[in-house]
Amino acid sequence: MRADRLVAVLLVMQARGRVTAAELAGELEVSVATARRDLEALSSAGVPVYPQRGRGGGWRLVGRARTDLSGLTSAEARALFLLVGPAASVSGSPEVRAALRKLVRALPETFREGARAAADAVVVDVAAWGGVGRVRPGLVGVLQEAVVGRRRVVLVYEGRGRVRSERVVEPWGLVDKGEVWYLVAGTGAGERTFRVDRVVSVRVTDEVFVRPEGFDLAVAWEGVVSEVERRRSSVSAVVSVESRFARVLGDQFGRHCEVVGEGGGRSRLRLSAATPLMIAQVLAGWGGLVEVVESVEVRAELARLGAELVALYGGG
């Protein structure tokens, strides 16, 4: 355990250059005395780590001293490349592939073959059958730089009704969901989420911001998803369908489909959406294979859609 912690100390020093024993203790969750002993142990072992007294002091990694010691285990290296490899196949970016090659060279010799194999083990094809590959919005790169650099940005944003407005926001993080990118940002009115494809222009300012303490992008996004899904499932209907078709219908509604009963070769499903029309529009394609057993509103929408189709095509 001591060896692992010394590696961690060295990696922290490489990242920061200077650190106090108290800061290191907080980073590694050890006592200040333990952190100080670890720093002294590195110095005694010949690593150019030296204490500096006085104001602005602390422990410094002298000069440009570096080590190729990554601290990764063999399993951790493979797990890392299983994630990064597919990302390189999706982006096709030469920078990502160059970074992969450099990461491989930084690993201990015995880990390299496993890392190379992991990087090539998975290819991600995001295009649907008959479709084309996804194109990342051009403004994503600009926003990424602003997120990493903690710079406020001025957005020209096209909201509902195609009304444009200019907003100064703090870009806290980006989310790639399905085929749409979202920006989670801080505004004068609190946390807000913006669709990147509705951003007309971005101007990065020189103003630096500090992200709220304890902010977790994954947790924040889960909150956004929960709220959106709640709004999208305010209306429900119970339908009856042959059990062999239940999974197909369930795939069309995703998380908004719940099996509520089975018997006699048929399944009862509760389907949810934002409006009765949205449910009816999907069910209309099933014709008589699906029967709505609960929801007067959805049955009425289906009848209306049916009447429209008969009026349009019935005479032919």
CATH 3.30.70 fits 233-313, yes or no: yes
Q: What's the pLDDT score for residue 70?
A: 55
The Cα–Cα gap between 89 and 189 comes to 39
Q: What's the pLDDT score for residue 176?
A: 87
Q: Enumerate long-range contacts of 83-88, CB under 8 Å, 24 or more apart.
A: 84/119, 85/118, 85/119, 85/120, 85/121, 85/122, 86/122, 86/123, 86/124, 87/124, 88/119
Q: What's the pLDDT score for residue 1?
A: 43
The Cα–Cα gap between 242 and 240 comes to 7
> What topology is assigned to 139-215 in CATH?
SH3 type barrels. (2.30.30)
- List per-residue pLDDT tens for the chain, 316 residues long: 455 677 677 777 776 778 888 888 888 888 888 888 888 887 777 777 788 776 667 888 775 455 544 556 667 777 777 777 776 666 656 776 777 777 777 666 667 787 777 777 776 666 667 766 667 788 988 998 999 899 999 999 998 888 899 999 999 999 988 778 999 999 999 999 999 999 999 999 999 999 998 889 989 999 998 888 888 888 999 999 999 999 999 999 988 999 999 999 999 999 999 999 999 999 999 999 999 999 999 999 999 999 999 999 887 6
The Cα–Cα gap between 307 and 313 comes to 10
Among candidates 177, 209, 206, 208, which has minimal Cα distance to 194?
177
Q: What's the pLDDT score for residue 265?
A: 93
- Structural domain boundaries in the chain: 2-61, 74-119, 139-215, 233-313
Q: Who contacts 52 (Cβ-Cβ below 8 Å, separation ≥6)?
A: 18, 58, 59, 60
> What topology is assigned to 2-61 in CATH?
Arc Repressor Mutant, subunit A (1.10.10)
Q: What's the pLDDT score for residue 40?
A: 84
- Does this chain's domain 2-61 share its CATH topology with 139-215? no
Q: What's the pLDDT score for residue 46?
A: 72
